[in-house]
A and B are shown apart, each in its own frame.
Chain A
Amino acid sequence: MKLGRTQIVVGCVVAALLLALGPTFLPSFYVRVGQLMLYSAGLGLAWAILGGFAGYASFGHSAFIGVGAFTAGLIEARFNSLPAPLLLLTGLAAGGLSCAILSALIAYPILRLRGTFFAIAMLGVSHVTAEVTNNIDFFQGSLGLNFPPIAPSTMDPASFFYELFLAGAALILLIAWWIRRSRFGSGLLSIREDEDTARMLGVPTERYKRLAFVVSAVLTGLMGVIYAHSLGYITTDSVYRDDTNLSLIVYSLLGGMGTLFGPAIGACLLVFITQVILGRLLDFHLFATGLLLVLLVLSAPGGVLGLMKRRRKAA
């Protein structure tokens, strides 16, 4: 069954509207779960612009969540007389800009590394940024930063942030979709398949992967800013998290590496598994995540979308 273009667009708009209406009928626990799903889906999609399309799997994207969140917090504290929506916009702009600058600065050295070396060097970047945030008093990483409440008084904060995360995730999905269809996206795929050949054939690989790195970092940073607002108070440990670093890879792996919707599907599945199914078994958490990872790698390296494709072929 092949869907026409209008059908896809209509389907997406209907799905988005249904999602946006979620908080009106869902019980509050599931609004929280939905928040987390949309946040994770946004991060997974942003990660996949570099990790899925270009094949540069980063193991340290929480660096950008942290940098975005802390810049936004520090800037917003200077402008706290602004009305709430403007304040959020200021924070988003500042967080996005700082991530753009950081990623553009480190893009040249770090993108010379490939495969595992790139992954671990990014882990290093996230540890170093976390350490700097934590130890230099100016950033208040160990003390913690407060974020002003920005939810309008007529709205439940949980639903408000749900809608914000939905908007963020939808924006990132649109950007990823646009990239995937553009010449830039084809260039990224060619880098994933064979970087040296792509370069030989005239694809500007250096420029493309640097651009993908910056775009991915900025979008991750924007989600980080919203996340920080939804927490209200952050320290180094609450935004620079190694489990986020890992989860971003797992989302793509679970959904389907290199596909457009894969990371979002994977994120929703993993959040559902860890929050709803394993929510009461905290002692069992690490073990279950590990087991899931092992099973995934051994039995479904193509993720959920890969399994569906295989089944469709067999049928």
Chain B
Amino acid sequence: MNLIAQTLADGLVLGGIYALAAVGFSLIFGVLHVINLSHGVLVLLGAYLALIFSQGLHVDPLMCIPLVMAVLFCIGYAYQRLLIQRAVDRASINSMLLTFGVALMLQNVMIWLFSPDMKNITPTYAFSSFRIGPVDFDAVRVSALLASLVLLSLLALFLKYSSMGRVIRATAQQTMAAQLCGVNVRHVYALTFAVSAAFAGAAGIVLGIILPFSPNDEGTWTLNAFVVVVLGGVGSPAGALIGGLLLGLVSTLTAQYVGPSFPNVTMFLLLVILLLVRPQGLLGNAFAPSR
């Protein structure tokens, strides 16, 4: 009983972080229809920036979130305007390969700059924990989960209520109509990409404090983001949250009860089954008309 409760709690904590790491991917997929295979690299870039900033400024890594998000926002905006925009209107395989190329280049640059070794960010409260009932909680994991929930809610509010959020949603639903109403679509695309990159960076910090990371992990994080989006549905923070929690639960339960070496097998079985039964994901596409 204890073991089940502990496994479920660990799964939910991990799931919250998967959700944050996937929400940017989901937004880009929903609005630009681009599979951003460099998403994992952006996540890791956030983690490395947080490592540098928190050591350089001697502050808590979570306090670096605004700074890292600002840097990645600018990188994302420029990246979309300079590169992705040129492939946006072509076949989806083109933009996918473009982002893959960028991912390879950035991964290599990160290996040059930060070495291929595992790094981690250690906050001051790294080894404290507390108990609720029979379940142990690490302070680090709980603060990571809280940070990701807060950020996900902020993004949901931004998309729902701010005027910029409305423009993004309008562009995603009917690009042509939005254009006719005077929306500068290229700017909106770049902005969406920038917001997504910023959230990827934030996710990097959150995962950096609970797991070790190295430049070679980028593929894993891109793949996780893809799975989360397919599970939960495209384009909405809520979909990412559902997909993330599901993925977190499935991977911890598999590791605990089937064997630690089979997370991919169950993950992809689940994915393929869901793609066949409900291809639009559990919550559906946030931008497509409901059928």
User: Do A297 and B98 touch (CB < 8 A)?
Assistant: yes
User: Do B219 and A242 touch (CB < 8 A)?
Assistant: yes
> Given the complex of chains A and B, what is the CA–CA distance between A290 and B261 in angstroms?
30
Does more than half of chain B's interface fall in helix, strand or loop, or is it mixed?
helix
User: Do A116 and B96 touch (CB < 8 A)?
Assistant: yes
Check: A301 CB closer than 8 A to any chain B CB.
Answer: yes
User: Do A117 and B275 touch (CB < 8 A)?
Assistant: yes
User: Do B275 and A291 touch (CB < 8 A)?
Assistant: no
Chain A nearest CB, measured from B272 CB (Å): 6
Instruction: List residues of chain B with CB within 8 A of the CB of A249.
Output: 93, 97
Q: Scoring B residues 199 to 242 as 1 if CB is less than 8 Å from chain A, else 0, what string do you get?
A: 00000000000000000000100010010001000000000000
Chain B nearest CB, measured from A278 CB (Å): 12
Check: A289 CB closer than 8 A to any chain B CB.
Answer: yes
Check: A232 CB closer than 8 A to any chain B CB.
Answer: no
Give the residues from 126 to 175 in chain A that come closer than 8 angstroms, CB to CB, to chain B: 127-128, 131-132, 134-135
Which chain B residue lies CB-closest to A127? B264
Q: Which of A5-13, A269-277, A279-287 contacts B (4 or more CB under 8 A)?
A: A279-287
User: Do B104 and A293 touch (CB < 8 A)?
Assistant: yes
User: Do A115 and B92 touch (CB < 8 A)?
Assistant: yes
Check: A110 CB closer than 8 A to any chain B CB.
Answer: yes
Chain B nearest CB, measured from A275 CB (Å): 17
User: Do A287 and B108 touch (CB < 8 A)?
Assistant: yes
Check: B259 CB closer than 8 A to any chain A CB.
Answer: yes
Which chain B residue lies CB-closest to A115? B92
Given the interface pairs A112-B276, A116-B92, the reply to whether A287 lies near B105 with Cβ below 8 Å is yes
User: Do B264 and A128 touch (CB < 8 A)?
Assistant: yes
Given the interface pairs A113-B275, A286-B105, A292-B101, the reply to whether A57 lies near B93 with Cβ below 8 Å is yes
Interface size of B by CB at 8 A reads: 41
User: Do A290 and B105 touch (CB < 8 A)?
Assistant: yes
Check: B265 CB closer than 8 A to any chain A CB.
Answer: yes
Instruction: List residues of chain A with CB within 8 A of the CB of B100.
Output: 246, 290, 293
User: Do A121 and B275 touch (CB < 8 A)?
Assistant: yes
User: Do B101 and A119 touch (CB < 8 A)?
Assistant: no
Instruction: List residues of chain B with CB within 8 A of the CB of A292.
Output: 101
Instruction: List residues of chain B with CB within 8 A of the CB of A204.
Output: none
Check: B249 CB closer than 8 A to any chain A CB.
Answer: no
Q: Scoring A residues 54 to 88 as 1 if CB is less than 8 Å from chain B, else 0, what string do you get?
A: 00010000000000000000000000000000000
Q: Ordered nearest first, which 8 A-B pairs have the shortest CB separation?
A: A293-B101, A290-B104, A290-B105, A124-B268, A286-B108, A287-B108, A294-B101, A290-B101
22 A–B pairs (Cβ distance < 8 Å), ordered by A:
A116-B92, A117-B230, A120-B35, A121-B272, A127-B268, A131-B265, A132-B265, A135-B259, A246-B100, A249-B97, A283-B108, A283-B111, A284-B108, A286-B104, A286-B107, A290-B102, A291-B101, A291-B105, A293-B101, A296-B97, A301-B90, A301-B94
